[in-house]
Structure 1
Amino acid sequence: MKLTDNTQTVTGMSDGKLNQSHVDGSDFIKETEDKKLRFSSSKFFRFIHGKGIRKIRQGADFDLVLVQDYIVSKISTSEVKEIVLNYVKTLENDRLTDYILNKTVLFSLKYLDAVETIKPKMHRDKPGESFFYFQNGVVKVTAKGIQPPIPYRQFKRLIWKDHIISRTFNDETDIETTPPMFQDFISKLSEGNEERFKRICSVMGYCLFDYKTSATSRAVIINDEKVSSAPEGGSGKSLIVDALSKFRKTALFDGKKFDAKADFVWQKIDESVRIVGIDDVKRGFNFEDLFSIITSGFRNINKKNRDEIELSVEESPTIVITTNNILKGNSGSFLRRQHQIEVFQFFSNKLTPLDYYESTFFSDWDENEWRRFDVFMLNCVMLFLMHGVTEYQEKNPQQKELIRETNQSFAEWIEDNLELLTAFEGVGTIQTRDSFLDATNQRFTSLSDRKFTNYVKAYCQIYGYEYVALSNMRPRGFRISQKSE
């Protein structure tokens, strides 16, 4: 981070606005006429204060921040030292410089705890209004359109520095004649289906809209259309999360190693993170572990060597999960906590986006492609603000519903053994359960005959079969049959 003098000094905050006045304290260190060095702690903190340095409490701990022209950034003690040294060096007195260099206590957290505490009201989206912070100003998006950038000095709201997008916004593009590469990519993932395309776009708009309540909070799940026991991956799901991260601060997690119950699993999360991306979660991922976070926020974020912090649902980031599998859970409790999108596998390990477009997304783009991308993504936000998350009927809904009710192994096994289960003489429950476990290499898995029976009944309910218990059979058994009209 490049540290510069504050052009507008800060003395306090009220309702997220800055109160400004002249604060000096620049003579906190000086050499007297008799060559003695004088250091004043009170003047030192006035000087620190005048440079825009404050602290934000996090339980018993705190973060140092630098506030410059309504832009707030977290800084380290070494960066505070750099600000002070840059000033002292202008005094052109080596004794003063040496004093600051050797007085390490001045830049300890214990000493800097005397810095003024603030509770900044950081700017966020409002109902019906979404804001994006570009280099040339703040762009406001509503259902009616995209407004020109507002200069930061005119906007006058506190914004995290790491929320500022490293691009200027310009909506004067050839997007009408030359569709953005990323728009074409989303079209490919939609198999050219307009409703499916709008679904993906509106969900991306939902992710970028930085306003939610317990009633509207959802996790986003991105999975493949095709269900397979040996998924290939490479369909492009992760590129969607990557695209979102170009607009909102994102914390990424490796889904294969992810454990929602681990002590420090969320330590990357703080009040400035807007999206959590959990990439490629493994089969058996327990979505229920996220229930309370989705509806109530990140209530217990453990950080190593620091106090826990809490984020309300309004302050919490949106969770986006990519997976090659169908996540288990089909009850209302599961469905009302998620927005799902499925992608058509136009791309694969055999045909990657790089192969098709002959360009690496984001890193190979020129200025015009970035402009098209920015306009397209903000149009997705506008679509969401107009219509919410749009509807689309997923492919193979019965198969996916069965997987959510049972598991993928059972869903594949029962289709292969349907002729056996529909035989008039029936099958033994325990024998058939053991056959299922053997066939799917789960012989040492604990699966009660009651749970297995519930799996079979779930299949019957979803596919329109009737479960017939054969009470006279020893050991007890069952068969399934087509329901009579």
Structure 2
Amino acid sequence: MFEWIHHIVNKITTLGFLLCDYKYASERKAVIIQDHLMSEVGQSHGGAGKSIVGNAIGHVVSQFFIDGKQMKRDDEFLLSGVTKATRNIFIDDVKTNFAFENLFAMVTGPMYVNPKGKDRYCIPLEDSPKILITTNHAINKANENATKRRIIYMEFSTWYNPDHTLVDDFHHMFFDDWDEEQWNLFDNLMAECVMYYFRSFENCWAREGAGAVPPPMKNIELRTLRQEMSEVLYQWAEEYFDPSGSHLNDRIKRADLVASFFEYAGGPAGHGVTRTNFKGKIQAYCKFKGYDFNIDRPNAEKLYYSDWKPLHPDESFIGSDDKSGGAEYFKVFSPAKEKELKPF
């Protein structure tokens, strides 16, 4: 019940953030709506109601719509049509590996618009529209600080799906079939969202300097880790580090692991995994599974596993490089398997 209420508060305060022009220096962010359901990277689950939120915003403030599936990475005319009166930019259904970093400057600074056939102009930060993005996928590099500090998340469950739609619960289409009473209810709800956003900001429901309360982040973090490691590496690691086998909790040469993965993946191309980034992706796999990495080495805080783990039982320990005899070694460690082997 608490988690459900947490999601409700997140949605109400985040809608309030999108509907008002107020931009506190520590809350210059874009809103990202994604699915709660965990799935393979690249697999979509539409019909959850994410786009309804964007449409709702567009019925209250001036909105510019962008079809995320048709977006080009370096489209100089992407914002052609945005004016100084635009209050919201709605980018709907962006693809896997969407380059959110391309929007960094316009999220936290002035917005430069290059209209087709007209002179380029700048909308100052205080007057620029806020950005709403919906996606069926995790955001690239979402664990990096530069990305984290620019995102407010909303998460949608699978209550609504292609087999169970809004019509089944409300017996009419949103917006199209509404009478005056429905529009009054909607307008009052939107006004209350703004009110609760400012109340949250004043009373620090999330933290000081923020009004939008983040949702429970566990699933969002897991989706990010799964996309970060790549689906091919995840599938390989699930087989290679199967708890019934001998590789989990064993110290193995990095070169042997890389060779095994490339053999499984059919070579070094087409999956985003390289010899250079392989370690980071294995560490992401450890965090996703609740495993630990290189437990015989100290972590970045110079703490050893035996001292750190009792204080962080639900987190993954990431030890430093383990090198000897001119080779580097990885150990992917499962506390659960260790307990099975040594119960006492």
- TM above 0.5, yes or no, is yes
Residues 1:350 and 2:163 are matched in the alignment: yes
Partner of 1:273: helix, strand, or coil?
A: coil
Distance 1:355 1:210 in 2: 35
CA separation of 1:211 and 1:251: change in aligned 2, threshold 3 A: same
Question: What runs of 5+ residues in structure 2 fail to find an aligned partner?
Answer: 201-210, 296-320, 340-344
- Report the alpha carbon displacement of residue 406 of structure 1 after superposing the two structures with TM: 3.6
Residues 1:434 and 2:245 are matched in the alignment: no
Aligned match of 1:290: 103
Distance 1:471 1:298 in 2: 48
Task: Kindly indicate whether the alpha-carbon contact (under 8 Å) linking 1:399 and 1:411 is maintained by their aligned counterparts in 2.
Answer: no
Counterpart pick for 2:283 among 445, 457, 482: 457
Structure (1 or 2) with the greater helix fraction: 2
- Report the alpha carbon displacement of residue 214 of structure 1 after superposing the two structures with TM: 4.5
- Report the alpha carbon displacement of residue 227 of structure 1 after superposing the two structures with TM: 2.0
Aligned match of 1:482: 334
Residues 1:332 and 2:179 are matched in the alignment: no
- Report the alpha carbon displacement of residue 238 of structure 1 after superposing the two structures with TM: 0.1
TM-score by length of 2: 0.76
Distance 1:305 1:384 in 2: 39
CA separation of 1:231 and 1:371: change in aligned 2, threshold 3 A: same
Q: Which AA in structure 2 matches 1:432?
A: S
Q: How many residues align?
A: 293
Aligned match of 2:120: 308
Distance 1:380 1:414 in 2: 44
Q: Which AA in structure 2 matches 1:372?
A: L
Alpha-carbon deviations, 1:2-44, whole Å to 9, x = none?
Answer: xxxxxxxxxxxxxxxxxxxxxxxxxxxxxxxxxxxxxxxxxxx
Aligned match of 2:294: 467
Q: Which one is further off, 229-238 or 247-256?
A: 229-238
Alpha-carbon deviations, 1:291-331, whole Å to 9, x = none?
Answer: 111111213x2111111011111111111000000112212
Percent of aligned pairs sharing the same letter: 26
Question: Could you say which structure has the larger radius of gyration?
Answer: 1
Task: Kindly indicate whether the alpha-carbon contact (under 8 Å) linking 2:101 and 2:147 is maintained by their aligned counterparts in 1.
Answer: yes
Alpha-carbon deviations, 1:215-241, whole Å to 9, x = none?
Answer: 321100000001212222110000000
Task: Kindly indicate whether the alpha-carbon contact (under 8 Å) linking 2:46 and 2:162 is maintained by their aligned counterparts in 1.
Answer: yes
Task: Kindly indicate whether the alpha-carbon contact (under 8 Å) linking 1:402 and 1:459 is maintained by their aligned counterparts in 2.
Answer: yes
- Report the alpha carbon displacement of residue 345 of structure 1 after superposing the two structures with TM: 1.1
TM-score by length of 1: 0.55
Q: Which AA in structure 2 matches 1:422?
A: L
Aligned match of 2:129: 317
- Report the alpha carbon displacement of residue 433 of structure 1 after superposing the two structures with TM: 2.9
Aligned match of 1:232: 45
- Report the alpha carbon displacement of residue 413 of structure 1 after superposing the two structures with TM: 4.9
Question: What runs of 5+ residues in structure 1 fail to find an aligned partner?
Answer: 1-189
CA separation of 1:458 and 1:381: change in aligned 2, threshold 3 A: same
Distance 1:404 1:331 in 2: 13
Higher relative contact order (Cα pairs below 8 Å, separated by 6+ residues): 2
Distance 2:191 2:108 in 1: 26
